[in-house]
Structure formats: C-alpha cells, structure tokens
Amino acid sequence: MRRLMRLYFDASLILRVTIALVLGVAVGFIGGETVAAWLAPFGDLLLRLLQFLIVPIVLFTLMVGINQASLGRLGRMGGKVFLYYVATSALAIVVGLTVATLLSPGSGMTPDESASIDVPENPGIVSVLLSIVPKNIAAAFAEPNLLGIIFTAFVFGIALLKLRQGDSQSELGEKLYGVIEGLNAVTMKVMEGVLQYVPIGVFAIVAGTVAEQGLNTILSLGKMVLVLYLALAVHLLIYCVMMSAFGVRLRTFFREARTPMTTAFATQSSTGTLPLTLNAARRLGITQSFYGFSLPLGATINMDGAAIRIAVSAVFAANVVGMRLDVMSMIEIVLIGTLTSIGTAGVPGAGIVMIATVFAQVGLPIETVALLTSIDALVGMGCTALNVTGDLAGTAIIARSEGERLESQPPERHAV
C-alpha cells in the first residue's frame, strides 16, 4: 500500500488527472449509475475543496497583487482585459455560427412538442453590474459573489497601498501588508495539499457524468456534440495563433494550462477551477498583480465556450424547425449572445439561460431547448474547458503586451 501511495505522489499531477479521466469514462460506461452513485461523494468533495479555496485565494492574491504594482498600470491592463474578453466572446459566436452553418447539426430532427424546460430567470447585465458592489461584505463572501469579492479586494487593496505610501501610518500599513502576504502564502500551501486530491475527484465526477448521460443520449445527438467540439477546437487554434503572435511559448503554456483545463472539463465549473487556473498563471511567470485580477474576472464574465454553445445551438434549433438564419439574424445572435454571455455570469444553469434568452430574442422555438438539455453535461464539459483556457490565454497575451517575459517554473512532480 505504501509503495502504491509513493507511486501516486511521485507521478506528475497531469499524468494522474489524465489517467483518472480515462478510468472515469471506462467505469462510467461499465459500472453504470450504481457505481456512479457510490463514487458521487468523492466528486462532491473535490468541488467543495475547490470552492473552499475561492474566497481566500481571490481576496489575498488580489490584495497582494495590487500592492506590488502601480495603479496606473493596473488601470491600463484592466482596460485591455475587458476589451479582450468582449472581443473574443464575439469572435467565439462568429466561429460557432460559421462551423455550425457549414455542418448543419439538427437537420432532419423534429422537436418534441410535449417537452418542457424550466429556464431560470435571466438577471440581465444591469443586475450583474450592480452586483459588483455588494450590499453586505459577509453575504458576498458567503454566496460567494465573485464580482463582489473582487470589488472588496480592490477597495481594501488600494486603501492598503495608500496607507503604506502615506507618511503618518506607513509603518502600520507595512505590518498589515505583511499579515496579508502571510495569509496568501498559507493559502497557496493549503492549495498544494488540495491539488493532491484532484485526480480522485476528477475520476469520480467523470464516472458519474458518463453513467448519467449514457450511450443512447450521446448517439442520438452525436452530430450536435461533434459540431460543437469542432467549433471549440477551431477557437482553441485561434488562441494558439494569438499567443504565438505575442511570443507566448505554446508548449510552456499548455504544460501549465492542462491541469486546470482537464479539471474544468470534468467539473464543468470555471469558478470552481479558479484556484488551479491562478496556480497555472503563477507557474507561467505572470505577475500576481495582473493574474490576481484578470482570472477571477474572466471566471465570472468571460465565457467563450458558452458563446460558441449559443451559436451552435441557434443553428441547431433553426435546422430542427426548418428555419433559415439570414445575415441579419446572425448579426443579432452575435450582439445578443455577447451581451448575454456576460449578463448571465454566475447564474446556476447559465448555459440554458443564455441559450433560451438568445432564442427568445431572435424568434427561435424555445421547445428545442429541451432537446439540448439532454446533452447539457456533455457540451458543458468542453465549453467550460475552453472558458478557462480563454481566461489564461488572454492573461498571458496581455502580460506579454506589457513586456512581461513569462519565465515559467521548472516542472514539479511532488507538488504543483
């Protein structure tokens, strides 16, 4: 047993996660829902551990980062981040529409008129923007409201920076900064321990997802799933071209990004994967003052994978009912889809919310949403992985545009 444990901890994290992913698929198909139900607590534990780290890692990382940079540089990079997120979300919808139009998923299918879908209410972009300023700090941390936590970290981080730069209370500010810096270091140490459990949780979650979806579901809407994943691959290629243009080494990037990508694929949670994404950015050599802001914001509002899902789903629904999407309809989907992908951030069932909202605006039948819910988990896995990849790619690109060298750390085996 001791030798087996040593082999487990000596193997690299990505090797363990990859093996867990393959074993999870096999066990899910063979064992079925009985085995999946038995493994479910192990998957739930991983999600709880990752969610457990979100508040301290975002709060302390961002506060320490702000105190390591000038406010002018933060403002300039913040503008670049926002423009990148909006532009790539719009581009993702264009990619999805193009690929889906060429391959026509849904042709020959008919909607189930008796099917119904309970769609959560879309809060809209105004409500999301207002939620940036929490009415109660404790409530923002308890929910957690990630935008509210980012706002809190920014306000107190800037106040701490001003305190340290002042004449009368600079000593007090330095002591307080030392405490925050220490808490950040402790949080990173806790994360190292949590990462050792990631492969076990990934195995349990993948086994459960495969068992619940089943082979029949995959085959019945297989073309839709294949078209969506092809569109995701095209957009990933665009990331690679952009990163190469800015001098980001792709081999180094994917060596560090593959663990959060794989975990996001299994858990279907951009926010839940955030601790791993932040760790990957740190290992890529990106400054903490930048990734501490861009990645939490991206996990909340940047959803390139979800944007592609909107586009492919729209073409799928149009083909099911024999409706032709003209150029104006496609432009409308791009505009509404871009805004909706931001406006529904953080809402449970966000994928269905976004699809239903766009369908209602462009006149597509809401009944087709019920068809898409049967493959929700299958498409959600790939979309979430691309969401996380887009956040990290954008962070690396903008860091390079600011002159950062991105000197990555050497590969680790015992800890990540």
pLDDT tens digit string along 276-301? 999 999 999 998 878 888 898 888 77
Q: How confident is the model at residue 193 (pLDDT cuts 50, 70, 90)?
A: confident
CA atoms within 13 A on the CB side of 277: 34
Q: How confident is the model at residue 404 (pLDDT cuts 50, 70, 90)?
A: confident
Supply the DSSP symbol for 111. -
pLDDT digits (tens, 9 = 90+) for 120-146: 455 555 666 677 788 888 888 887 777
Q: Which structure tokens are listed for 299?
A: 């996990």
Q: Write down the pLDDT at residue 115.
A: 47
Q: How far is CA 119 from CA 136, 228, 317, 384, in A?
A: 28, 22, 16, 20
Give the mean pLDDT of 154-168.
86
- Is residue 253 over pLDDT 90? yes
- Is residue 70 over pLDDT 80? no
Backbone angles phi and psi of 21, in degrees to 5: -65, -45
pLDDT digits (tens, 9 = 90+) for 199-249: 898 888 888 877 876 666 566 667 888 999 999 999 999 999 999 999 999
CA–CA distance, 162 with 109 (Å, rounded to integer): 62
CA–CA distance, 129 with 191 (Å, rounded to integer): 30
Q: How far is CA 94 from CA 125, 231, 234, 333, 343, in A?
A: 21, 10, 11, 9, 19
Q: Please tell me the pTM assigned to this model.
A: 0.78
CA–CA distance, 120 with 185 (Å, rounded to integer): 39
Mean pLDDT of the chain: 81
| Best CA proximity match to 112, nearest among 40, 220, 24 | 220
* HEC per residue, 242-303: HHHHCCCCHHHHHHHHHHHHHHHHHHCCCCCCHHHHHHHHHHCCCCHHHHHHHHHHHHHHCC
Contact 312, 305 (CB under 8 A): no
Contacts of 195 (CB under 8 A, 6+ apart): 13, 259, 276, 279, 415, 416
Q: Write down the pLDDT at residue 242.
A: 95
Residue type for 103, please?
A: L
In CATH terms, the fold of domain 2-401 is Proton glutamate symport protein (1.10.3860)
Q: Return the number of other C-beta atoms located less than 10 Å from residue 98's C-beta.
A: 15
CA–CA distance, 52 with 394 (Å, rounded to integer): 26
Give the mean pLDDT of 17-33.
84
CA–CA distance, 49 with 58 (Å, rounded to integer): 15
